[in-house]
Amino acid sequence: MNKKATRSTKPKPDPDAAPQKQAVCAVKKVFFIADNLLQAEDGADRMRLERFYHPGKGQPAWFITHHDCQIMEMLEYGEPRRSWLLNNEVCSNGRTYMTTPLDATLLALHHLRKHCSQRAMSLDSISVDASDASTNRLLTKFVTAAGLKCVADVKASGDLVFYKYNPQRTLAWLTLKTRGVVAVLKAKQVHCGLGAKSQNYVRSEKLVSENDVNEMDYLRMACDYVGRYLDADLHEELTRYLQIPSEIQALVEEKSSAQKRKSQQGQPSANSKKIKLANGEDAASQLRNSSLLDSDDGKDSITSPPTPAPLKERTMTAKEKALAKGAKGSKSIASFFKAK
Amino acid sequence: MFEARLGQATILKKILDAIKDLLNEGTFDCSDSGIQLQAMDNSHVSLVSLTLRSDGFDKFRCDRNLSMGMNLGSMAKILKCANNEDNVTMKAQDNADTVTIMFESANQEKVSDYEMKLMNLDQEHLGIPETDYSCVVRMPAMEFARICRDLAQFSESVVICCTKEGVKFSASGDVGTANIKLAQTGSVDKEEEAVIIDMQEPVTLTFACRYLNAFTKATPLSTQVQLSMCADVPLVVEYAIKDLGHIRYYLAPKIEDNET
C-alpha cells in the first residue's frame, strides 16, 4: 500500500481540467491517490478520468486511467453528514474517493461474452460492433493479450488475432482470482462469518483457536468481491461453479442440523409432551390430521404408550448420579438373575 | 381389602430409608403371606429384595393379592410425619389407585392419615436361584458400615477377600491403599458383636463401594449383617428385620482388570 493521502481537486464532469486550475465554481473533492501517479502528472501521460462500461453495475462508470495502460477503478466512500475543511473552506461534499488498480480483463470480459461467444472476432471488429467509443479504447489500449488468453481462445492468422470467449477457461481463471481473494481475506483476518464481529474485541485464546468461520464463508465473501466486476449471470455461474450455497441456504442447513442434534437428544421428552397434549384418541387423531406433526414422528408419539417413558425422563439428583458413576464397571444384575 | 398394622412406625421409617436411596419407586406386592418388594436400581447393578412376613405385623389382612407401585421418596416423606412410637396402618382397597397410611399415637389422641397415589410400575420380577455360597460372613452391621465408609475414601471399588484366616476388605486409589482385616472372633460373648465366617472355598471379589455404602443405610434395622459370596455371583448383603423379615441387597461384582 504505497498510497498516501493527498489532496487534489478535480472537476468531475470535465476530466481534462487541470487540477491546478482553481475555477470559482470548482468542486473540491478528496482523493486517495498513489504518490507516484501524481508525480507523473507533469508529463504527457497524466491521469485521465474516463467512462467505461462496468459489468457489475450494468452501466458506464468512472475509471481513472494512467499512461494509457493502467486502469483504476474509482471507489467512492460517502458518509452522511460529513464535510471536509480545506484551506479554511468548507467542502460540503464529504465523500472520499479512492483509486484501486483493476484488471482490465474483467471489463473486457463483458464485451467478449457479448460478441465473441459464438464466433472468434478480432478486437477491432468488437469495437466496431459496440456502440460506444470507450469500448474500442478499452480493448485496444488497456486489455493485455495475456489477460485475454485467460478467458478466450486465441486464434492468430497473420497479423490478425481473433478471440473467442471460452467459458471453462474464464471460470477457472475467476476461481483463481477468488482463491486469491480468500487468501487475502484470511491473511487480513477479515471476519467473513455470519453476523457482525468486533475486530478489536479479543476473545479468549481458546475461542480464537476454535474456528467459527468456515472455509465456505470466506469463499462466499471472495466470490461476491469478484462478482462485483462481473455480469450478474456470470457471477451466478461462478457461484454455481464454486458450489457455494447461498447464505440463507447455509443458514437454514446449519439450523436444521443443529435442531436435528437437539431433537435426537430430547426426543423422548418431546414425545412425552406431545402425548400429554394429545389426550385421548380424538385429540390424537386431530393432531394427526392437522399437518402440525411430521408424519413419521407424529405417528410414533401417538402410538407409543404413554406410561413408562416419562417416569424415566426426570433429571437425576447428585446422589443418583454418583451412584450411577459407581455402577461403572459392574456387570448388570439382570445377567445373573433371569426374569421369572 | 388390604390392611397392615405395625406397632412402631420407626421400623417402617428405617425400611424406607434403607431402600429409597437406591430405588426411586418400587412395587409392594401384598399377599396373605406378607409384603414383598423387589426392584433393581436405575443402573441395574444391584437388586433390592424386601420381605415382610404377615405374622410380624400386629394386624395383617390381605383378601386379594395386591401390587402397589409407590414412589418411595413420597412414601418416605409421609413416614417422616409419624412419631417413632406411633402405630402405623397401611390400607388399600382392592384395585384401588391410592393407599392410605394412618398414624395413631399410643394413647389414640392423635390420628393422622395420608393418602398417596399409587403408580403403575411395569417392573419385571427376577428369579433368584438358590445358591450354595462359598463364603458367608456374619459381622456387626455397624462394623460393616464403618468399613465401607472408610474404604470409600480410597477408591471407587472394594476388594473383599475371604480366606480361612478371616475376611479382608481392601481399596487402593490415588491416596494409597487401605486394608481392613477381620478375623473370626474366638469366644462369642455377645452374638451381635461376633464375626463369624463360614467358608467352603476362598473367594476374592470386587464391588462398587458406593453401592455397599448405599446398602449400609439399612444398618439401623439390624445389629448384624450377613455377606454371602461366591465367585462370579452377586454378593448378598442381608439385614434381618427382627420378627418381621429381612432386606437383601444383591450386588453384581465388578469386572476384573477394570480401571477403578
Q: Among A143-152, A173-182, B212-221, which range has the highest average pLDDT?
A: B212-221
A305 reaches B (C-beta below 8 A): no
Whole-number Å distance between alpha carbons of B167 and B236: 15
Whole-number Å distance between alpha carbons of B43 and A327: 6
Q: What is the pLDDT of residue A204?
A: 61
Q: What is the 3-state secondary structure (H, E, C) of B133-162?
A: CCEEEEEEHHHHHHHHHHHHCCCCEEEEEE
Which residue would you say has higher pLDDT here, B121 or A271?
B121
Q: What is the pLDDT of residue A24?
A: 46
Across the interface, of A308, A325, A330, the residue whose CB is closest to B253 is A330
Q: pLDDT, tens digit, for every residue of B184-199?
A: 887 777 888 899 999 9
Measure A248 CA to nearest chain B CA, in Å: 45
B42–A323 CB contact, under 8 Å: yes
- A35-49, A110-124, A262-276, B237-251: lowest mean pLDDT where? A262-276
CB contacts, 8 Å: B233 with chain A: 336
- A116-130, A166-180, A268-282: lowest mean pLDDT where? A268-282
Neighbouring residues of B101: CB distance < 8 A, sequence distance ≥ 6: B75, B78, B79, B88, B89, B90, B91, B113, B114, B115, B116
pLDDT at A233 over 70: yes
CATH architecture of B135-251: Box (3.70)
Q: Which band of pLDDT confidence, cut at 50, 70 and 90, is reported for residue A290?
A: very low
Measure A238 CA to nearest chain B CA, in Å: 57
- A36-50, A64-78, A317-331, B219-233: lowest mean pLDDT where? A36-50
Q: Decide: B234 and B47 in contact? Cβ < 8 Å.
A: yes
Quick one: closest CA in A to B126, which residue? A339
Measure A297 CA to nearest chain B CA, in Å: 25
Q: Which residue has the cell 456387626?
A: B140
Whole-number Å distance between alpha carbons of B155 and B210: 10
Phi, psi angle pair for A304, to nearest 5°: -70, 140
CB contacts, 8 Å: B47 with chain A: 333, 337
| R_g (Cα) of chain B, nearest Å | 20
A81 reaches B (C-beta below 8 A): no
A327–B254 CB contact, under 8 Å: no
Nearest to residue B229, comparing CAs of B177, B160, B173, B165? B160
Measure B206 CA to nearest chain A CA, in Å: 9
Nearest to residue A182, comparing CAs of A151, A213, A210? A213
Q: Which grid coordinates belong to A162? A: 481473433
Q: What is the pLDDT of residue B73?
A: 92
Q: pLDDT, tens digit, for every residue of A64-83?
A: 887 777 888 888 888 888 88
Q: pLDDT, tens digit, for every residue of A235-277?
A: 888 888 888 877 777 777 766 666 555 444 444 444 444 444 4
Q: What is the rounded average pLDDT of the residues A49-68?
A: 83
Across the interface, of A327, A329, A333, the residue whose CB is closest to B47 is A333
B248 reaches A (C-beta below 8 A): no
Q: What is the pLDDT of residue A147?
A: 83
pLDDT at A39 over 80: no
- A34-43, A222-231, A260-269, A300-309: lowest mean pLDDT where? A300-309
A315 reaches B (C-beta below 8 A): no
Q: What is the pLDDT of residue A248?
A: 75
Q: Which band of pLDDT confidence, cut at 50, 70 and 90, is reported for residue B149?
A: very high
Domain B2-117 matches domain B135-251 at the CATH topology level: yes
Mean pLDDT of chain A: 71
pLDDT at A109 over 60: yes
A317 reaches B (C-beta below 8 A): no
Angle formed at CA A124 by CA A121 and CA A129, multiple of 5 degrees:
75
Q: What is the pLDDT of residue A283?
A: 46
Q: What is the ipTM of this complex?
A: 0.78
What is the residue type of B218?
A: A
CB contacts, 8 Å: B120 with chain A: 307
CATH class of B2-117: alpha beta
Share of chain A above pLDDT 90, in %: 1
Q: Which band of pLDDT confidence, cut at 50, 70 and 90, is reported for residue B87?
A: very high
pTM above 0.95, yes or no: no
Q: pLDDT, tens digit, for every residue of B221-245?
A: 999 999 999 998 999 999 999 999 9
Angle formed at CA A66 by CA A1 and CA A223, multiple of 5 degrees:
55
Torsion-angle region of residue A189: left (phi > 0), alpha (psi -120 to 50) or beta?
Answer: left
B157–A332 CB contact, under 8 Å: no
Q: pLDDT, tens digit, for every residue of B159-193?
A: 999 998 899 999 999 989 999 999 988 777 788 88
Q: Decide: B52 and B244 in contact? Cβ < 8 Å.
A: yes
pLDDT at A26 over 70: no
Q: What is the pLDDT of residue B35?
A: 94
Measure A277 CA to nearest chain B CA, in Å: 21
Which residue would you say has higher pLDDT here, B160 or A294?
B160
pLDDT at A22 over 60: no
Q: What is the pLDDT of residue A18?
A: 41
Mean pLDDT of chain B: 91
pLDDT at A145 over 90: no
**A138: helix, coil or strand?**
helix
- Every domain of chain B and the residues it spans: 2-117, 135-251
Q: pLDDT, tens digit, for every residue of B46-57?
A: 999 999 999 999
Q: What is the pLDDT of residue B183?
A: 92
Q: Which band of pLDDT confidence, cut at 50, 70 and 90, is reported for residue A301?
A: very low
Q: What is the rounded average pLDDT of the residues A277-299?
A: 44
CB contacts, 8 Å: B119 with chain A: 311
How far, CA to CA in Å, does A134 sit from each of A50, A229, A265?
Answer: 8, 17, 64
